[in-house]
């Protein structure tokens, strides 16, 4: 699709969290960049998009995405993941490195960035592996990975149990001025488990993971972060105990941030009843008190961002006994609507999905500032739709939200001013 030289968006509710702008307005895009807010001053004959009162915001920035490529393309390719992303209003994705092979060489970092460009849909920002092959032992070539374009370092969904090695990694990351993203789960307590320890896991006879396994690893790594002065970010926080520790660390002035994902503030462990493998996640779904604590932490600003935690799976990955089934759920298309369920003011919700993750990752995205790249999401916050497993864009079918009715529908997505997604219901209609 060709990019119009100039586009004027009219009749929109423009929301730009980085400037606290929330108003009925207009927006002008020229040559792929935002040039102003007054469409009355543009020449005649340009492309005009009537938003019909819908919200226009920055394209969403998803800071935690797993893709099957390389190594497991049958689950998700970069192309199929990009298609799912733009259907969810996402224009920037940070991609985890725990693939096969792991993203632990400069050439693979460059390849992931290039493959993102080749889709013509999204910007991909690869994480570099924290340790070689994300195996938790030998340090990866972090300096070379950063030079190649790695935005931060993580071993994905794997925790590093060796405290001395973690101290070394954090000390080196401070030297590199690099962000370390951690999966907080004490590995020996979590080994072999698949459900949060408690009455439900006992009733179902499932191997258990104590909720305290998350807080224990957060406590250890906060001590190491204080010791080394490193920047640490805890991914998909899901328990009240971990949040209490992070809150205290922030009050002390430590350089610590965290995110969560929609399942941890919209669902509880009850969703795994009858051994429902689509709701088997990592970390596992928690009890109501933890869900409520996550929701409260979103409202009071302890949680810095919301990520999809997209983990694609083939149907055969999930059609196994619960303990053997693959953990994880898709979340790209549902990220916006499920985050709206937190009930926060719309400006605050979009901040968690745009400018906040962009700032954490140090990327130029998540803003409607004049001069910024015109990555845009046009959505109707009141339009309802129902999630159906197997009917979402992308190859993966394993959504924990199957059957859930969501308010908030992406209508159109733009990257650099070029339309890369339009809702099927709009096809054939003039905007």
DSSP 217-231: HHHHHHHHHHHHT-E
Distance (Å, rounded) from C-alpha 318 to C-alpha 286? Answer: 20
Q: Which sign does the torsion angle of CA 163, 169, 170, 175 carry?
A: positive
* Strand pairing class (376-386; 55-58): antiparallel
Burial of 9 (0-12, 13-18, 19+ CB in 10 A): buried
244 is catalytic: no
Which of 155, 34, 83 has the alpha carbon at shortest distance from 421?
Answer: 83
Could you say which of 16, 62, 304, 309 is catalytic?
309
* Residue whose C-alpha is closest to residue 396's, from 340, 333, 335, 337: 333
Sheet of 179-182: strand order equals 128-129, 153-154, 179-182, 231-234, 256-260, 305-306
Q: At what angle do helices 106-119 and 78-87 cross, to 10 degrees?
A: 50
State both tokens at 68: 């099957």
Q: Which run of H or of E encompasses 189?
A: helix 187-190
What's the rounded Cα separation, in Å, for the pair 306 and 9? 27
Alpha carbon distance 4, 416 (integer Å): 11
Active site residues: 309
């Amino acid at each position: 699709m060709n990019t119009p030289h100039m586009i004027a968006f009219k009749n929109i509710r423009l929301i730009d969290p980085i400037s606290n702008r929330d108003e009925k307005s207009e927006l002008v895009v020229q040559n792929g960049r935002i040039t102003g807010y007054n469409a009355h001053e543009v020449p005649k004959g340009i492309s005009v998009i009537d938003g019909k009162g819908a919200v226009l915001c920055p394209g969403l920035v998803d800071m935690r995405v797993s893709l099957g490529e390389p190594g497991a393309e049958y689950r998700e390719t970069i192309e199929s993941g990009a298609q799912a992303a733009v259907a969810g209003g996402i224009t920037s994705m940070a991609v985890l490195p725990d693939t096969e092979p792991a993203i632990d060489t400069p050439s693979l970092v460059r390849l992931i960035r290039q493959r993102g460009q080749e889709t013509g849909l999204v910007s991909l920002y690869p994480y570099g592996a924290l340790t070689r092959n994300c195996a938790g032992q030998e340090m990866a070539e972090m300096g070379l990975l950063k030079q190649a374009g790695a935005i931060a370092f993580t071993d994905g969904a794997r925790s590093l149990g060796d405290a001395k090695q973690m101290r070394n990694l954090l000390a080196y990351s401070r030297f590199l001025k690099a962000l370390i993203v951690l999966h907080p789960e004490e590995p020996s307590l979590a080994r072999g488990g698949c459900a949060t320890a408690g009455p439900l896991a006992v009733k179902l006879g499932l191997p258990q993971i104590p909720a305290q396994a998350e807080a224990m690893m957060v406590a250890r790594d906060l001590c190491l972060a204080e010791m080394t002065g490193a920047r640490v970010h805890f991914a998909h926080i899901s328990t009240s105990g971990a949040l209490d520790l992070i809150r205290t660390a922030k009050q002390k002035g430590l350089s610590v941030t965290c995110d969560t994902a929609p399942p941890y503030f919209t669902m509880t462990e009850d969703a795994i009843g009858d051994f429902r493998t689509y709701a088997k996640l990592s970390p596992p779904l928690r009890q109501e008190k933890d869900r409520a604590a996550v929701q409260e932490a979103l409202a009071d600003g302890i949680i810095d961002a919301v990520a999809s935690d997209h983990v694609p799976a083939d149907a055969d990955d999930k059609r196994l006994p619960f303990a053997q089934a693959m953990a994880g759920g898709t979340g790209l298309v549902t990220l916006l609507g499920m985050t709206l369920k937190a009930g926060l003011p719309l400006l605050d919700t979009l901040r968690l999905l745009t400018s906040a993750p962009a700032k954490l990752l140090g990327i130029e995205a998540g803003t409607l500032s004049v001069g910024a790249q015109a990555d845009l999401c046009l959505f109707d916050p009141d339009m309802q739709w129902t999630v159906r497993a197997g009917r979402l864009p992308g190859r993966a079918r394993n959504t924990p939200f199957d059957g859930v009715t969501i308010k908030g529908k992406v209508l159109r997505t733009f990257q650099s001013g070029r339309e890369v997604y339009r809702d099927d219901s709009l096809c054939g209609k003039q905007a």
